[in-house]
Amino acid sequence: MKSYQFSYILSCLVGLWSLMATLDVRAQDVSINVLSSPASLPVSTTGSIQVDLCNTDPNNISVPVNKLNPQISVSSDVTILGVTKSDGSSLTDFTVSSNTGQTITLTNAVPIPNLNCLSFKIVIQGTSTGIPGGVGNIAAVLNFQNSPTTGNQAFNDNSATSISIFQAGPDLTPVVYAQPSLLYGGKSISVVVDVFELNAVATNGTVTVNVTRDPKFSLNFEPTASSIGGHSVQNSAWSFDDSSPDYYILTSNQAVGAGSLLSFGLNGMFEPGSTTGTVNISTVIMGSTGEQNLTNNSDADKIEYFQQ
């Protein structure tokens, strides 16, 4: 009897050990993490969401194929356009189960070995701002086919990030040409300013440009001129104000086209007197409706002068 009881107990212990071993073999923890790029996204331009799924199990246990169903959702300020590998090439390690434009769900098409990650990149587009400085919220949930992997830790099955969505404005920069660049005695000069738009967004409102004054020269504005100093200009689009002692002020209400330019030109006389030296002629764009980059709003050219 005792021998039978011992054998029965031993059999139970072996069975329990086998069950525990089976559970250990299937024990896994899989995490998900998302990161958006860039931090700020203009409306109608594209960005991305990097998604990493990592098998953190220290044992040699792979996540099986078709086990993971990561789901990534975005708020209404963002639209999901598609998904690729992290390097931008065609997706092969996952299949797309569904994509509504606001929520995308995928399934892993290959195993994930322990201590390894599988990644993909979701391509997104800023679609609206809602309010100035709108924020596109991004949430990721790691779902599982049928049931989670045994031993999975739920705390790392969710991840979130955000991206700032904004309406891009025009970006203006001036380029000034002073001619001639070298003078001997009093001579006529010309100053032409090209105002370039760099951000592929047309201006909408007043553009004001200041041109520095100097006692050695006096500049005049011809309202109908279309060419000054060999440069094409649109003087008819500008108004001229010389009431300031420091600047000539040029103003235009005509739009500077997206990726285009609007120019003006001034003519005058340079009188160095009995002096020799260099004079800088500077221009500054003082304002344009909606312009966000003010770091490139100035330029300068110089004239070197000598006594006759």
Distance (Å, whole) CA 251 – CA 287: 10
What's the pLDDT at 57?
Answer: 87
Close Cβ partners of 271 (under 8 Å, ≥ 6 residues apart): 186, 216, 217
pLDDT for residue 93:
96
Dist CA 61 CA 209 (whole Å): 68
| Element housing 158 (H / E) | strand 158-166
* Phi, then psi, of 9 in degrees rounded to 5: -65, -45
Residue 292 has pLDDT above 80, yes or no: no
pLDDT over 60 at 149, yes or no: yes
pLDDT score, position 7: 54
Establish whether domains 29-166 and 172-306 are of one fold.
yes
Tokens of 148: 């989670």
pLDDT tens per residue, range 1-34: 445 444 544 454 344 334 334 433 444 799 999 9
Query: What's the CA gap between 44 and 123, in Å, rounded?
Result: 12
pLDDT digits (tens, 9 = 90+) for 180-223: 999 988 899 999 999 999 988 899 899 999 999 999 999 999 99
Q: What is the per-residue pLDDT for 114?
A: 92
Interval 254-272 mean pLDDT: 95
For the record, the structure tokens of 287 come out as: 């304002």
Percent of the chain with pLDDT over 70: 89
Q: Give the largest Cα separation in the chain, rounded.
A: 131
Neighbours of 235 (CB within 10 A): 21
Sign of CA dihedral 208, 293, 78, 135: negative
**Among 130, 202, 123, residue whose Cα is nearest residue 165:** 130
Between 194 and 150, the higher pLDDT residue: 194
The separation between the first and the last C-alpha atoms of the chain, rounded to the nearest angstrom, is 131
Rg for the chain, CA atoms, rounded: 34
Q: Where are the beta strands (DSSP E) in 145-254?
A: 158-166, 172-179, 182-184, 187-197, 207-212, 217-220, 227-228, 231-232, 239-241, 247-252
Indicate the domain borders of the chain: 29-166, 172-306
CA 74/CA 163 separation, integer angstroms: 10
Quick one: pLDDT at residue 96?
Answer: 98
pLDDT greater than 80 at residue 56: yes
Which amino acid is located at 111 in the chain?
P
| Interatomic CA distance for residues 188 and 190, integer angstroms | 7
How many angstroms separate the CA atoms of 130 and 166, rounded?
Answer: 9
Of the candidate ranges 47-51, 151-155, 215-219, 238-242, the one whose mean pLDDT is the lowest: 151-155
Give the H or E element holding residue 163.
Answer: strand 158-166
Task: Say which amino acid occupies 286.
Answer: M
Q: Could you tell me what percentage of the chain is helix, strand and coil, using 3-state DSSP and rounding each to the nearest 5?
A: 10, 50, 40
Mean pLDDT of all residues in 84-97: 96
Q: What pLDDT is recorded for position 4?
A: 45
Name the band, by pLDDT with cuts 50, 70 and 90, for residue 44.
confident
Are 162 and 124 in contact by the 8 Å Cβ rule? The answer is no
Q: Are 233 and 293 in contact (CB under 8 A)?
A: no
Cα–Cα distance, 10 to 18 (Å, whole number): 12
User: Model-level pTM greater than 0.75?
Assistant: no
Q: Tell me the mean pLDDT in the region 114-125.
A: 96
pLDDT score, position 20? 38
- State residue 54's pLDDT score: 96
CATH class of residue range 29-166: mainly beta
Least confident of 24-28, 50-54, 131-135: 24-28
- Of 283, 254, 248, the closest CA to residue 173 belongs to 283
CATH code matching the domain that covers 172-306, chosen among 2.60.40.1510, 1.50.10.10, 2.60.40.1530, 3.10.180.10? 2.60.40.1510
